[in-house]
Amino acid sequence: MLKNEELRQRLAREYRYAVTKMQETQPPTKKLFYFSVFFGEAQRVLNWEWNRDLALIHLVTQHVHTQINTMMQVPGLGQTLPIDWTTLFDNLTQVASGLATYFEEAENEDSKEELHRILGYFAEIAYAVSGNGSYLHEKGSFKL
């Protein structure tokens, strides 16, 4: 993925630290705060080395953060969605851990299929907190 090994290791360290903090904290707002490292650090690394996959990681993780944050901020709406917030944040943490592992394991760097799978899970999480997504999740069309 990245040509610069130091940048790959930087992402691996920062992503793993964020995941550890997400696992250690309980309030959803703090979990979401630590999750913001995923798009923030991707953007910083893009300043040093352009990479299309990393730009995609930035875009997807920022969208997930925005979707969840929006639902949490709308008075009453976020609390009325038929989504179990504990499950949502457990899944967010698990998928974030998968992305950290992706960068930790240098041999997986060229696995577009693994990256696509991880980003697909992020997309499902973001979609689950939308109106239609929460409806489809409740209906059983997909599970988190």
**Span 50-109, pLDDT tens digits:** 999 999 999 999 999 999 998 888 766 556 667 788 899 999 999 999 999 999 987 665
The answer to whether position 28 is within a domain reads yes
Tell me the one-letter amino acid at 124: E
- Higher pLDDT: 9 or 84? It is 9
The radius of gyration of the chain's CA atoms, rounded to the nearest angstrom, is 15
The answer to whether position 144 is within a domain reads no
- Higher pLDDT: 78 or 120? It is 120
Q: What is the pLDDT of residue 137?
A: 87
Distance CA 94, CA 121 (A): 10
The answer to whether position 82 is within a domain reads yes
**pTM of the model as a whole:** 0.92
Percentage of residues of the chain with pLDDT beyond 90: 69
Q: Could you tell me the residue range of the domain that residue 68 belongs to?
A: 5-139
Contacts of 114 (CB under 8 A, 6+ apart): 102, 108
Number of structural domains found in the chain: 1
The answer to whether position 38 is within a domain reads yes
The answer to whether position 14 is within a domain reads yes
